[in-house]
Amino acid sequence: MSVKGITNHPANHYEYQADHSKKKGTRAPEDTASDSGVVYQCSKKRAPDSQTVANVKADNEARKAQLIEMVQKILKGQAKIFGNAKSKAYDSSLKPSQAAKSISSGGYWGADQTAQRILDFAVAYAGDDQKKLDEMKAAFEKGYQMAEKAWGGKLPDVCRQTYDAVMSGFDKLKGGGAEEETPSYLRDADRAARIKAALDEASTKARDSQLASFIRSLLDTHNRFLKQAESNNAALKAQAEKELGTGGSLNETSITRLVYDRVKTYLTGDADDNTKIDEMKAVIDEVFKESDELSGQKLIAYNDVMLALDSLKKEAA
């Protein structure tokens, strides 16, 4: 069949208690304690046993190891984004312009925001304990050194800027550095909220990145079949027409259903779902419009996905 003959399909709407009371006017019997033979002694503070000490030490070591691993992963990812911004294809799904925006000042992978996430983790564990803060600082430095070694040399400038921002943050936590407005991660009243916000943001970023990669993969395969449909090779052409035609795995209805179903996996049935849908619609809009021309089955799928998600929002309202 001819690919040009494929028509629109409607979007499916896929869908503790001691009793201390004493009766008024009654008198407690005298010498009760002596008669009962009970001996009362002052309690003494017991030193922690060896197992408790061992558990605390093990927890400290685990936290340090977590930070070391976290630092390595973050810096590796940041370095790769930097590479994309310089047109080195570490991640083919990320355009140089997107990468440059991500590592810019204020961007998710920029030095300030990346340093903030590392400091949030350290403060969540160490609090105001200076000894623990020193341990976290040493763990960060070790993680940085290991990241450089794995990278095979000096990390990109944005990673070094992150290093400087984190070290400056640790100095401020200890009361050093120049006088200036206290950063948000140093204010006790803000700490829990900041940590939660950082975790929420990281989760949202990961979700959006996964969704974008999924859609790009669908569209890239769809485009490959479009080209294949114009091939002079009869077998390749027949395969493409089958995949793009009615009932095919990559026609407009299938793309709509696959994207819609993927969005639903990120919804939890709570009051935030409508906000999540709007956020993911923005991702879908951006990815679909990355292509030079949004037309044909891709345009139909785009419109159907947006209509289906709007319908899903009404159901969640």
Q: How does pLDDT run across 243-262, given as a tens digit for each residue?
A: 999 988 889 999 999 999 99
The last residue of one of the domains, among 184, 208, 233, is 184
Both tokens assigned to 310: 């709007």
Q: Is residue 240 part of a domain?
A: yes
Could you give the residue ranges of the DSSP H alpha helices within 17-156?
32-36, 50-85, 96-102, 111-126, 130-151
Q: Is residue 3 part of a domain?
A: no
Residues whose CB is less than 8 angstroms from the CB of residue 140 and which lie 6 or more positions away in sequence, other chains included: 67, 68, 71, 118, 122, 166, 167, 170
Total domains in the fold of the chain: 2
- Per the structure, the complete domain to which residue 274 belongs is given by 200-316
The whole-number average pLDDT for the span 152-169 is 91
- Only one residue has tokens 């956020």, namely 279
Write down the pTM of the prediction: 0.44
77 and 135, same domain (yes or no): yes
219 and 260, same domain (yes or no): yes
Start-to-end Cα distance in the chain? 43
Give the highest mean pLDDT range of 34-48, 202-216, 233-247, 259-273: 233-247
249-252 contact pairs (CB < 8 A, 24+): 250/218, 250/221, 250/222, 250/225, 251/6, 251/9, 251/297, 252/6, 252/8, 252/9, 252/297, 252/298, 252/300, 252/301, 252/304
Q: Is residue 300 part of a domain?
A: yes
Q: Is residue 8 part of a domain?
A: no
Where residue 17 falls among pLDDT bands split at 50, 70, 90?
very low
| pLDDT attached to residue 59 | 74
d(CA 272, CA 34): 65
Give the highest mean pLDDT range of 112-116, 141-145, 231-235: 141-145
Q: Is residue 105 part of a domain?
A: yes
Q: Cα–Cα–Cα angle for 171, 122, 84, nearest 5°?
A: 90
67 and 174, same domain (yes or no): yes
172 and 209, same domain (yes or no): no
User: Percentage of the chain with pLDDT > 90?
Assistant: 21
Q: Is the pLDDT of residue 3 over 70?
A: no
Lowest mean pLDDT among 114-118, 206-210, 235-239: 206-210
Length of the chain in residues, anyone? Answer: 317
What is the DSSP-derived secondary structure letter of residue 153? S
Q: Is residue 99 part of a domain?
A: yes
156 and 248, same domain (yes or no): no
Mean pLDDT of the chain: 76
The whole-number average pLDDT for the span 137-149 is 93
159 and 273, same domain (yes or no): no
Q: Is the pLDDT of residue 15 over 60?
A: no
| pLDDT attached to residue 143 | 94
214 and 164, same domain (yes or no): no
The last residue of one of the domains, among 139, 158, 184, is 184
154 and 88, same domain (yes or no): yes
119 and 173, same domain (yes or no): yes
Q: Is residue 46 part of a domain?
A: no
Q: Express the helix, strand and coil content of the chain in percent, nearest 5 each.
A: 65, 0, 35
The whole-number average pLDDT for the span 173-202 is 56
255 and 164, same domain (yes or no): no
The last residue of one of the domains, among 135, 159, 184, is 184
Q: Is the pLDDT of residue 16 over 60?
A: no
260 and 146, same domain (yes or no): no
Q: Is residue 24 part of a domain?
A: no
| pLDDT attached to residue 53 | 64
69 and 166, same domain (yes or no): yes
